[in-house]
Amino acid sequence: MTVAAAGPGAQASGPGIVVACWKLVELRAGIDPFTGAVVPDPTSAGPSPADEAALEWALRLAEGTGARVVAISAGSPGCDAMLRKALAAGADGAMRVGVDPDARSSVIAGALARAIRKAAAHGGPGMGDAVVCCGDASVDRGSGSVPAFLAGELAASQALGLVGLDLVTWAEPADGGDRALVVERRLDRGRRERLRLVPPFVISVEAGTARLRRSSLAGALAAREAAVETVEATPPVGDTRVELVGEEPYRPRARVVPAPAARLGPRGRIAVLTGALHERPAARTLVLEPEAAADELLSTLAEWGELPDSLVTVLRQPCRAGAAEAADAAAGAAAESVATESVATESVTTESVTTDHGVAFHAADTIADTPEVP
């Protein structure tokens, strides 16, 4: 995971410090030709393509503010060679945080945040407005959660999954205005979202947004003898909310299908098993309260065979209890009423969501109750 943070230089008033953090990963997996087991391949170790793109954006942000660039990595001493590659590309300094790279994302983000604060203290008092630029995901785990945790540690805004950055307003801010960065984010269905970010903020970029510049000969020679500062990580404090008990690939649960009749031929059995002769359920439009909508969703998923029966039983217990209480209250109100009056229904604003199986659920903003005839 690559992280770049700009300190006081984020404002138009003066230069600051930009920090770029890299994560060491193996870009290619080695395979034992005799056993077929996956073996480490140190020769392919280096930063992820998204991390290199984030470092390039960090260097461009530093050029726009005249800031000093410092490269940081969280991991073992094997990261020093990778950090020297960042120095050759244009970084002014390098730091390594002694933390397990396989630790939780929250631990990694906490260690990076402490290193960023320490690097900022070398350039001036305090942190100032921090700008953090991250790769969207690394090639090993690819969770993409470190930028969000880092934004929480630095108390900054975040804009993740960016596909473009506009440095015009960043390099030339308006008279008397704050330095701002205009970015473009990818949305669903091919849509894009443009945001104007004012420091402090955290962004993550995709690998195709930029290519890391080629190192100069003078920079490569100077990086070979450059020193890498080591920072000891502080042990994490607090309990673990999520415990990883196992890792395995996702496999959809097999659906139980009744066996076709023995009197059918091969073609008839295939038709029965594939459901080619069955009609799809008709689309339904339901206007329900949140509790009733949740109960209906669980019932429909259980009917389609998408949920285990034991899980459906546990999840639906609160909904059933609430439905029973509501039914008792409605029966008592109906018994006390002598005549049924029509109640005008208020204007309803609904938002429809249609599932793949043809069932549409509407979430109503305001709906007036209409008593039923006993």
- Six-digit token pair at 138? 């690394």
Label the pairing between strands 38-39 and 30-31.
Answer: antiparallel
With a CB cutoff of 8 Å and minimum separation 6, the contacts of 22 are 1, 2, 47, 51, 55, 71, 72, 73, 79, 82, 83, 86
Mean pLDDT confidence for 227-248: 72
Q: pLDDT class for 235, splitting at 50, 70, 90?
A: low
- Residue the block writes with tokens 């009917």: 303
pLDDT tens digit sequence for 114-136: 888 888 775 444 456 678 888 88
The dihedral built from the CA positions of residue 203, 74, 19 and 124, taken in this order, carries a sign that is: positive
| Of 26 and 353, more confident | 26
Mean pLDDT of 225-234: 83
Strands 192-197 and 38-39: unpaired
pLDDT > 50? residue 358: no
- DSSP helix/strand/coil, 374: coil
Q: What is the pLDDT of residue 183?
A: 92
328 or 272: which leads in pLDDT:
272
Fold of 3-31+40-232: Rossmann fold (3.40.50)
Distance CA 72, CA 115 (A): 8
What are the tens digits of pLDDT across the range 302-350? Answer: 777 777 767 766 765 654 444 455 455 545 544 454 333 433 333 333 3
Please give the pLDDT value at position 88.
Answer: 93
Task: Read off the pLDDT of each residue in 178-192 and give the average, rounded to a whole number.
Answer: 87
Does residue 5 carry a pLDDT above 60?
no
Q: Where are the domains of the chain?
A: 3-31+40-232, 282-334+345-374
Structure tokens at 117: 């604060």
The string of DSSP codes covering 19-46 is EEEE--EESS-EE-TTT--EE--GGGEE
Residue 341: per-residue pLDDT = 40
Q: What pTM does this model have?
A: 0.60
**Token pair for 43:** 């020769």
Q: What is the pLDDT of residue 210?
A: 92
Kindly give, in sequence order, each residue whose CB lies less than 8 Å from that of residue 186, ignoring residues fewer than 6 positions away: 161, 162, 163, 192, 206
Per the prediction, the chain carries an average pLDDT of: 75
* CA distance to 9, 75, 76, 253, 322, per residue, from 38 (Å): 45, 21, 21, 27, 52
What is the Cα–Cα distance from 83 to 51, expressed in whole angstroms? Answer: 12
* Closest by CA position to 132, among listed 57, 184, 82, 195: 57
